[in-house]
Chains A and B, each alone.
Chain A
């Protein structure tokens, strides 16, 4: 205004002064600087890898009761769709269901004993695929793949069944074989294989997909148990990530490290109260899930509580790792986010695990959330028992042990 500096200019000067100071502080905060570059890069790479709704390689078991050349051929072609990755052969349905229940497979292809004879008689054979619909995306992909295969097979058989002699070793051996069979049938039956016959429209091999555990394929049923894991990852990690840093920022750190407390004692002491907090959160999410989303709880709540323990411990220990390294609460929060991001994206929570490329799955297997999701979905949606999922529990316990050791070793009873 009158004479000298205008209020606008001096205000601007103060704004710039603050901005300059922030920038200078930022420049000296190596970690934050790293995060500025690291978080978007990580996000991009992870999203790019993980967002792949085109599901492939669903771990699949085969119950082949026909054990015929035809059944093996069909299984081979189903595997060739890449939706199914045939990982084991089972001998009875009990074993098949047990594999589904413990999430070792996402689908079971069941071929009935009369498969070959029905084809030979031109009766149209039937294959059942049991799909784990607790994950609706997987169930949908399996359905799509099964039906798609049945349709293309029908289209392949059609030209051979109209009388044209099939090439003996053409590219489509199965289609040719089915066509040739049709030709050898009496004309009355042969008609049923004709282009406009009932069977072709119905498909020579029908594939029926039986959704297990979540027959309506409701997404909430799938998401809510998973949310338990995601929420716990975030809250548990932050609780302990701030635990040591807070002591540091409030000067109580110097008091604490001058006492006889041993490092492992401090670590375990910091974790214990939050195990209880974690269980309270599990209870809240489950209760709301039941009340608001009608999530069925098929397994035992007690087993879920026990199954949650190692996971809670693993997340709290990971928080301590962050806390032992971070110098401020701000840094601790950022580092937690850095861990949280892959957990969200690569664990099978957001995007189907089966849809991720192998390397992303390997990283996913390292994350406790991946294993916990299998446990929580198993217990809640399939009524599985923890005893069926000991490898998952073992993986989480291993993570817990490593994280606790790293936290203890990187925590120093020193000031600098």
Chain B
């Protein structure tokens, strides 16, 4: 097929899509390299599905351009079909066909000859442990099994690029773990994976990710690089009366947000606050003033959720290493 070159697998420039007067995706630039698991994190309605559908040629962009596997999309997308696997957000297989029949249909529609079809279906059933359910109707499967079937179908034709739209929504934690193990196996074989999620624990596992908010790409980078700008802005307060402590800290001009984690209150400081090690003392004083005793505040490590919260508060992270640009209040 096409030579494996330095060309990125997915490259978009100013990709936008309007629905009526609503701009669902707004000028998104993306570069996804071969073999990486690239995450797309964002709340519901942030444009994740629309972005993916444009990359698959299922929606025409209103503006901007996209290249996928060296082809212009949506113009040349039909040539790409057999090189891409797609798992839709909602289960989109035939519930009135059995697991095996769904796999066979997918294999045939992707143009596999009879012998190869049987071989692929057998290996997919084995690889996804679907063997015992092979002759069950898809409608009888639970969420976790449906998701396995959907991944098996999406990969039946050995695609180079896998696009997964919230594949683990509504799936139990164990199935989610197993699912991600399979994704890493696939990535290990050179498959590029573009996956959307709204689970932070999944986002952290991606090689790189972008964060969408109201259709705009508000951050991009590796999970480590994304939290970097927040270094020195997190304080963990260990306190017994966590609820009262939160009430007291919320009023402070130093604090952006508080998150309760058992007996710990995870505090994100404002960009203009002193560094965490200094601010910790101030927080202890605030609590003491509120009559809460025994609180111990220490500098903590920022996580993706803090990035999210900061973004919600209006801060901007335009890619790794970009200067922080606090939005004036």
Contacts and interface: CB of A to CB of B under 8 A. Distances in A.
Interface string B39-72: 0000000000000010011111000000000000
Sort A-B residue pairs by CB-CB distance and give the 5 closest, nearest first. A260-B81, A255-B92, A258-B86, A251-B92, A259-B109
Contacts of A255: 86, 88, 92-93, 153
Chain B at the A interface: SS class:
loop
9 contacts: A251-B90, A251-B91, A255-B92, A258-B56, A259-B106, A261-B109, A262-B78, A414-B60, A415-B53
B55 to A, nearest CB: 11
A252 B92 CA distance: 4
B92 A414 contact: no
A238 B89 CA distance: 30
Given A250-B95, A415-B53, A416-B19, A258 B58 contact: yes
B110 interface: yes
Contacts of A416: 19, 59
Interface of A: 250-262, 413-416
A133 B53 CA distance: 61
B96 to A, nearest CB: 9
B81 A252 contact: no
B82 interface: yes
Contacts, number: 51
Given A250-B95, A252-B93, A416-B19, A260 B88 contact: no
B88 A251 contact: yes
B94 interface: yes
A190 to B, nearest CB: 87
B111 interface: yes
A348 B131 CA distance: 57
Given A251-B90, A258-B58, A258-B81, 20 more contacts: A250-B94, A250-B95, A251-B88, A251-B92, A252-B93, A255-B86, A255-B93, A256-B109, A257-B58, A258-B56, A258-B88, A260-B82, A260-B111, A261-B109, A413-B58, A414-B58, A414-B60, A415-B53, A416-B19, A416-B59
Nearest to B78: A260
Contacts of A250: 92, 94-95
Contacts of B82: 260
A147 B314 CA distance: 95
A380 to B, nearest CB: 37
Given A251-B92, A254-B92, A260 B58 contact: no
A413 B84 CA distance: 15
Contacts of A257: 58
A349 B53 CA distance: 48
Given A260-B111, A415-B58, A254 B95 contact: no
A255 B94 CA distance: 10
Interface in B282-312: none
Nearest to A257: B58
Nearest to A258: B86
A31 to B, nearest CB: 19
A259 B156 CA distance: 12
A282 to B, nearest CB: 27
B110 A414 contact: no
Contacts of B53: 415
A250 B82 CA distance: 23
A258 B93 contact: no
Interface string B311-324: 00000000000000
Contacts of A414: 57-60
B140 to A, nearest CB: 16
A257 B74 CA distance: 13
B30 to A, nearest CB: 19
A239 to B, nearest CB: 16
A415 to B, nearest CB: 5
B110 A259 contact: yes
Nearest to A269: B109
A261 B58 CA distance: 13
Interface in B92-113: 92-95, 106, 109-111
Nearest to B111: A260
B93 A254 contact: no
A259 B81 contact: yes
B69 to A, nearest CB: 14
Most chain B beta-carbon neighbours within 10 Å: one of A250, A258, A413, A414: A258
Contact of A415 (B59, B90, B109, B153): B59
Contacts of B110: 259-260
A304 B59 CA distance: 46
A254 B58 contact: yes
A395 B189 CA distance: 56
Contact of B94 (A252, A260, A415): A252
A254 B81 CA distance: 13
Contacts of B81: 258-260
Nearest to B96: A250
Interface in B260-288: none
Contacts of B88: 251, 254-255, 258
Interface string B105-129: 0100111000000000000000000
A267 to B, nearest CB: 14
B164 to A, nearest CB: 12
A256 B92 CA distance: 9
Nearest to B83: A260
